[in-house]
Amino acid sequence: MIFTFPKLNESSNILLKIILTLSIIYSFISLFSYLNIILTTHDFYTLYPLESILLLIGTLFILTGNFLIFIFKKSGFWLSLIGALIVIFINISFDGIDFFQSFYGVEFQFLVFFLLIYKRNGISTWDIIYKN
């Protein structure tokens, strides 16, 4: 894998590493998209300025949280969770978006959260993070 950390090599959850890497890439793309919308005063930003800024902040929390999860820091989970909740609640606030569409942008986060609690050989990745 591209990223190698000593603690990460102790974990046998390769799928978590792959999903975190994909989520980090996706979060970077989302972050720059929201920055472009805000800095160019796109029509979306003129209609929803607060929501645009909150989506940017939520994406930044998700990105930072995923980096911290990747290096096995407990605070990464909480930052990712806060970011995912911000994105979900902002998406729910838009008219014309149904409940399932409000989860767009955080699909990887749910997969990351599931893989953190998935037990392999009797121990989960969350157990490893919590003990550190």
CB proximity list for 93: less than 8 A, separation 6 or greater: 51
In the chain the beta strands, taken as DSSP E runs, fall at 119-120, 123-124
pTM value is 0.81
The pLDDT value recorded for residue 132 is: 64
Reported confidence tier of residue 105, pLDDT bands at 50, 70, 90: confident
The pLDDT value recorded for residue 5 is: 44
Task: Report DSSP state, residue 94.
Answer: S
Token duo for residue 124: 């989960």
pLDDT > 80? residue 97: no
The most confident of 10-19, 99-108, 111-120, by mean pLDDT: 111-120
